[in-house]
Amino acid sequence: MENLKKELLEAQVGKVLENEPLANHTTMKIGGPADLLIIPKDVDAVKHIMDEVKKHRADWTVIGRGSNLLVLDKGIRGVVLKLGAGLDHLVINDQEITVGGGYSVVRLATSLSKQGLSGLEFAAGIPGSIGGAVYMNAGAHGSDISRILVKARILFEDGSIEWLTNEEMKFSYRTSVLQKERPGIVLEAVFQLKQDDREKITKKMQQNKDYRKETQPYNRPCAGSIFRNPLPEYAGQLVEKANLKGYQIGGARISDMHGNFIVNAGGATAQDVLDLIQYIQTKIKEDYNVDMHTEVEIIGEASE
């Protein structure tokens, strides 16, 4: 790890932080340290980091804005690449948008609405990066990333870079090919939008945001929906029916506003959240015989 760090520092790949608490990089404000957290300065830097990671046989993880993550208390070994500034280019060519993997989804939705470009209204309140949104096939209000993505440029573990088409991304409910089948890093994405009335788009986005504020603990430290909806059931409704809203373990609490949100009510550890997740899974299985699977990505090492 020392040699890897030295080489990456010398190569000036971006900001390199050692033993960086990931609680500083997740919306839950939870997570132990990364051995090395790197914010790459551009696409070439990402490629260089991955070449070095391969050479040193180090572990690697990519994160965006940490809005769908539960990072465990002992943190993450190896290199964590955080895509943000440096991979936040945006090119608007008529109705086709090319955008960097580190670009903020909310920022993109807002700037496209101002140009009268429709298609990303659903994402107005999704606090992730483009890379995280493509990986998750993020969605809301009956739409998702798969509806607008033309192709995504992916850096794979073997160092190759490929454009994957919408079909090759194998999108379905909150999943893509990147999750298990073909791990890689979303460097950039191309979206196809439609020209429409600016006021109509901004009104729709405002409605979506207002709905969130009314129904979700939007400004509390959380990671969005904890569970995938076990369709046709909705995770939040099952939790509410089981009378679990407001239930708390340590500093982790099931939101009083929405049954599918766990908030860090103050000083929560990842273990508190894990225990609460397991408690909910057991209770819902007992009461309704439904298996609840997490939507939030659980990564890193747990404390013993």
**Stretches 164-172, 201-209, 219-227, 268-276: which one binds ligand FAD (CB under 6 A)?**
219-227
Q: Does 66 bind ligand FAD (CB under 6 A)?
A: yes
Which of 118, 129, 146, 225 is the catalytic position? 225
In degrees to the nearest 10, what's the CA dihedral of 208, 213, 219, 223?
A: -60
Is 295 designated active site?
Answer: yes
Nearer to ligand FAD, 5 or 25 (CB): 25
In angstroms, give the least distance from the CB of 270 to ligand FAD.
Answer: 14
Q: Does 43 bind ligand FAD (CB under 6 A)?
A: no
Which of 20, 52, 188, 295 is the catalytic position? 295
Nearer to ligand FAD, 222 or 249 (CB): 222
Query: Which residues are 91's β-sheet partners?
Result: 98
**Stretches 138-146, 163-171, 188-196, 229-237: which one binds ligand FAD (CB under 6 A)?**
138-146
Q: Which residue has 């804005």 as its token pair?
A: 65
The phi, psi pair for 221, rounded to 5°, reads: -65, 115
Which of 67, 174, 176, 253 is the catalytic position? 174
Is 301 designated active site?
Answer: no
In angstroms, give the least distance from the CB of 226 to ligand FAD.
Answer: 10
Terminal-to-terminal C-alpha distance of the chain: 23
**Stretches 14-22, 56-64, 230-238, 248-256: which one binds ligand FAD (CB under 6 A)?**
56-64
Site string (166-205) toward ligand FAD, x via CB under 6 A? ------------x------xx-------------------
User: Would you call 85 exposed, middle or buried from its count of C-beta atoms within 10 A (0-12, 13-18, 19+)?
Assistant: middle
Number of residues located near ligand FAD, criterion CB under 6 A: 31
Q: Which residue has 């009956």 as its token pair?
A: 142
Nearer to ligand FAD, 266 or 285 (CB): 266
Residue type at 101 in one-letter notation: G
Q: Which of 8, 71, 133, 284 binds ligand FAD (CB under 6 A)?
A: 133
In angstroms, give the least distance from the CB of 6 to ligand FAD.
Answer: 26
**Distant-in-sequence, close-in-space partners of 44: CB < 8 Å, separation ≥ 6:** none
The phi, psi pair for 286, rounded to 5°, reads: -65, -45
| Strand, coil or helix: 142 | coil
**Stretches 16-24, 129-137, 159-167, 269-277: which one binds ligand FAD (CB under 6 A)?**
129-137
Is 107 designated active site?
Answer: no
Which is nearest to 45 in space by CA: 82, 14, 84? Answer: 14
Q: Which residue has 């909910």 as its token pair?
A: 280
The phi, psi pair for 208, rounded to 5°, reads: -60, -45
| Strand, coil or helix: 59 | coil
Cis peptide before 33 (omega within 30 of 0): no
Q: Does 27 bind ligand FAD (CB under 6 A)?
A: yes
- Burial per residue of 182-210, b for 16 or more beta-carbon CB atoms within 10 angstroms, e otherwise: bebbbbbbbbbbeeeeeeebbebbeebee
Q: Does 234 bind ligand FAD (CB under 6 A)?
A: no
Per CB under 6 A, residues contacting ligand FAD are 27, 62-69, 83, 101, 126-129, 131-133, 135-136, 138-140, 178, 185-186, 218, 222-224, 297
Which residues are tagged catalytic?
174, 225, 295
